[in-house]
């Protein structure tokens, strides 16, 4: 048990979601951040400019030593550096690197992770998107002990928030980022006092989501309008959603879809005319500005309002239809 007020803390992270928590640790926690571990500088953009993580930039600005190992498991010499820092606590958030057991065992007190879901739901690399896709009413930050199995360690505490009906992945990311300091503020006194209760995760309630790629954003129109609505919102801004379109001139193109979207149902008249039409069929629209581009799904209709054809600017559905008509009765998707 630590008897003094100031703990020596090592931060391990790379993503922007961790910045508010790192800033809080440095400026307000009353503890000492003795080092920051983050990802190596990477080439970014079309010109492949070597770019540091936002975590590194903050640490350099505050004069905190920075380590950027490519792989902690393959660089055992860093273990000595970690031990020399004599940390009481290692705090991890959005680091993107596997921690060997030898690293987990370095701090005298604990090695903890801030995970962006209410565990045991949505373990894995994309918990923010997973919560929206699942239609969850709540999300949050779970502070947990790091274990050998991914996101399976004993839980220390949680901070929760309600999801809005129009929640997007980007919005939830930013809200959870601001929740991180509150989670740390609740967890650190418990850890420091030695009175923390370890809550074992219920494996029967566990769900998992892996790392997402652009291919995951290709829309399957046979899914329900409600499911696709959640997908479009969850994947904004990353990895985004898209579908293939057949333009009026007979050419095929990719079209990106952005929030807002709206799930609706076929009217009785449309049921007669389009009930047998395949999913992905574009339906007639009386008023594009209010109804958007209407697409039949496996269950219901999805109204699309913000679209972008490849090689063109993002625009409202009515502007897109005026420029390159997508005829009612034509079909989206392959």
Which domains, from first to last, does the chain contain? 8-208 (3.40.50.170), 214-323 (3.10.25.10)
Using alpha carbons, select from 245, 246, 252 the residue that is nearest to residue 218: 245
pLDDT value at position 324? 61
Beta bridge partners of residue 170, listed in sequence order? none
pLDDT value at position 251? 84
Residues 121 and 207: their CA atoms lie apart, in Å, by 5
Whether the per-residue pLDDT at 10 is higher than 90: the answer is yes
Tokens of 82: 């970690």
Give the pLDDT confidence of 251-309 residue by residue, as tens digits: 889 999 999 999 999 888 787 788 889 999 999 888 888 899 999 999 999 999 999 99
pLDDT value at position 151? 95
The answer to whether the beta carbons of residues 24 and 159 sit under 8 Å apart is no
The answer to pTM > 0.85 is yes
Whether the per-residue pLDDT at 1 is higher than 60: the answer is no
Whose tokens are 């992770």? That residue is 113
pLDDT value at position 3? 45
Q: Considering only residues 270 and 315, tell me which one the structure prediction assigns the higher pLDDT.
A: 315
Instruction: Tell me how crowded residue 41 is: count the other CB atoms within 10 A of its CB.
Output: 13
The answer to whether the beta carbons of residues 200 and 156 sit under 8 Å apart is no
Tokens of 257: 């879809």
The answer to whether the beta carbons of residues 169 and 233 sit under 8 Å apart is yes
The percent of residues in the chain predicted with pLDDT above 70, rounded, is: 98
Please name the helix (run of DSSP H) or strand (run of DSSP E) that holds residue 66, with its range, or none. Answer: strand 66-67
Mean pLDDT of the region 20-44: 97
Q: What is the dihedral sign for C-alpha 211, 242, 282, 277?
A: negative
User: What is the longest distance spanned by two Cα atoms in the chain?
Assistant: 75
Beta bridge partners of residue 51, listed in sequence order? 42
Half-sphere exposure of 31 (CA within 13 A, CB side): 28
Give the pLDDT confidence of 137-175 residue by residue, as tens digits: 999 999 999 998 899 999 999 999 999 999 999 999 999
Percent helix, percent strand, percent coil in the chain, to nearest 5: 30, 30, 40
Buried b (16+ CB within 10 A) or exposed e, 230-253: bbbbbbbebbbbbbebbeeeeeee
Give the pLDDT confidence of 87-145 residue by residue, as tens digits: 999 999 999 988 999 999 999 999 999 999 999 999 999 999 999 999 999 999 999 99
pLDDT value at position 72? 85
- Strand 110-115's sheet: what is its strand order? 66-67, 32-37, 8-13, 89-93, 110-115, 138-145, 155-162
DSSP state, residue 11 = E
Instruction: Tell me how crowded residue 299 is: count the other CB atoms within 10 A of its CB.
Output: 16
The answer to whether the beta carbons of residues 144 and 200 sit under 8 Å apart is no
Q: Considering only residues 3 and 305, tell me which one the structure prediction assigns the higher pLDDT.
A: 305
What SS3 class is residue 306? strand
Whether the per-residue pLDDT at 2 is higher than 60: the answer is no
Give the pLDDT confidence of 187-239 residue by residue, as tens digits: 999 999 887 889 999 999 999 999 999 999 999 999 999 999 999 999 999 99
Half-sphere exposure of 123 (CA within 13 A, CB side): 18
Rg of the chain over Cα atoms, rounded to whole angstroms, equals: 24
């Amino acid at each position: 048990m630590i008897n003094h007020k100031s703990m020596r803390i090592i931060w391990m992270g790379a993503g922007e979601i961790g910045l508010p928590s790192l800033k809080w640790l440095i400026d307000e926690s009353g503890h000492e951040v003795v080092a920051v571990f983050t990802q190596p500088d990477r080439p970014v953009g079309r010109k492949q400019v070597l770019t540091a993580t936002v975590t590194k930039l903050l640490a350099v600005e505050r004069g905190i030593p920075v380590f950027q190992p490519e792989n902690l498991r393959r660089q055992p010499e860093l273990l000595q550096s970690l031990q020399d820092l004599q940390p009481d606590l290692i705090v991890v958030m959005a680091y993107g690197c596997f921690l060997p057991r030898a690293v987990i065992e370095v701090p005298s007190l604990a090695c903890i992770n801030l995970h962006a879901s209410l565990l045991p739901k949505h373990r894995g690399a994309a918990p923010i998107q997973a919560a929206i896709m699942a239609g969850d009413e709540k999300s949050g930050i779970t502070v947990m002990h790091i274990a050998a199995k991914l996101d399976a360690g004993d839980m220390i505490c949680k901070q929760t928030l309600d999801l809005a009906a129009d929640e997007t992945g980007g919005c939830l990311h930013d809200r959870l980022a601001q929740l991180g300091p509150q989670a740390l503020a609740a967890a650190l006194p418990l850890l420091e006092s030695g009175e923390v209760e370890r809550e074992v995760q219920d494996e029967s309630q566990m769900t998992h989501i892996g790392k997402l790629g652009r291919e995951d954003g290709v829309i399957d129109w046979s899914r329900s309008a409600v499911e696709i609505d959640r997908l479009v919102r969850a994947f904004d801004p990353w990895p985004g959603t898209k579908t293939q379109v057949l333009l009026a001139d007979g050419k095929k193109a990719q079209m990106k879809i952005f929030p807002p979207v709206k799930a609706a149902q076929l009217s009785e008249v449309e049921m007669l005319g389009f009930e047998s039409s395949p999913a992905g069929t574009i339906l007639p629209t009386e008023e594009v500005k209010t109804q958007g581009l209407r697409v039949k799904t496996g269950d219901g209709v999805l109204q699309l309002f913000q679209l972008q054809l490849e090689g063109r600017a993002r625009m409202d559905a009515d502007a897109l239809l005026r420029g390159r008509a997508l005829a009612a009765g034509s079909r989206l998707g392959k």
